[in-house]
Amino acid sequence: MRLVQFELRNGERRVGVVEGSQVREVLSAHSVRELALAAIEAGVGLAQQVQSLGLGDSHTYAELLADLKILPPLDHPDPAHMLISGTGLTHLGSASARDKMHQQGGDDSALTDTMRIFKWGVEGGKPAAGQAGVQPEWFYKGDGSIVVRPGAAFPVPPFAEDAGEEPEIGGLYVIGHDRKPYRVGFAVGNEFSDHVMERKNYLYLAHSKLRSCSYGPELRVGELPQHLAGTSRILRNGEVIWQNEFLSGEANMCHSLENLEYHHFKYSQFLKPGDVHIHFFGTATLSFADGIRTQPGDVFEISQAEFGAPLVNRVGSANAVFAPGDVITL
């Protein structure tokens, strides 16, 4: 089952099930979060909760996408109660591009922190079920206010030095009233980062991640396939300027999903009832590693057949919101 959230022309929200070229409304459902919390309360899965409510009116999926009526597939009415985070160096091909960024003076003999943490993951990232493996890289991106809906532009701030895509699979979660995380499903995501800033110094990684992101348009309910092979590409003026295969799934990872989830939700501050978490699982595909520098207006398109419609966003711009000296003393 694949779900979307969308807006009607009058602004009202709906949840829909994707059925081919159509989206069928889930009766009386206005958000996936509400559906998930109701399923938790009833002790059933999300798909069963949807089936119990039934389906109603149909909408043309392509029109909803073209009109930018598709919302992120999981959100919260209060963006402050969403946590967007991620982990890196989790995929078997992810170390080489990052290692190139962090080599000092072209010295290939020194083991960078990138290669060291990747090696740890290969050796201990897939422990036996129920056991904790090695801790992965982890980073904070922001709250729900940084999320851009499918089809919309990323607001690139004036201090940014790069506007680079990161095609990833994200886990989408709701915290139940029992303070336990419930995985609602998975979605294709563009974690979108500033790779020029990160390359200057690895300690700038935290700064480089404080950018917008997008995920969707669809939420895939259930387990993640072991092997996923999709495509990440960039278009400029309607022409493809870069394209590469986008691999994911545990068969292509050096960490298990269970291990990545454990090392996120082991922190008690992340278990507030009703909160929403979007956790990106990393990538092995970056146009930046191939020398691509994006420009305003460039379009990112990330596709995985198992997740339905591709995630499309473009590079935009944003005005400065703060200047040196603007802090006010009370």
- The domain limits of the chain are 1-71, 76-315
Question: What fold characterizes domain 76-315?
Answer: Fumarylacetoacetate hydrolase; domain 2 (3.90.850)
Average pLDDT over residues 72-82: 98
**Is residue 97 predicted with pLDDT exceeding 80?**
no
List b or e across 278-317, with b for residues whose CB sees 16 or more CB atoms inside 10 angstroms. Answer: bbbbbbbbbbbbeebebeeebbbbbbbebbbbbbbbbbbe
Mean pLDDT of the chain: 94
Q: Are 281 and 257 in contact (CB under 8 A)?
A: yes
Contact predicate 55/25, CB 8 Å? yes
* Range with lowest mean pLDDT among 5-9, 39-43, 117-121, 145-149: 117-121
Give the residue carrying structure tokens 């030095």.
161
Cis peptide leading into residue 217 (ω within 30°): yes
pLDDT at 239 over 90: yes
3-state secondary structure of 52: helix
pLDDT tens, 39-71?
999 999 999 999 999 999 999 999 999 999 999
The per-residue pLDDT for 176 is 98
The separation between the first and the last C-alpha atoms of the chain, rounded to the nearest angstrom, is 53
pLDDT at 9 over 80: yes
pLDDT band at 96 (very low <50, low <70, confident <90, very high): low
Length of the chain: 330
Question: For the residues 79-105, what does the mean pLDDT come to?
Answer: 74
Statement: residue 95 has pLDDT above 70: no
C-alpha–C-alpha distance, residues 5 and 14, integer Å: 6
pLDDT at position 105: 47
- The Cα–Cα gap between 229 and 249 comes to 9
Predicted confidence at residue 323, as pLDDT, reads: 96
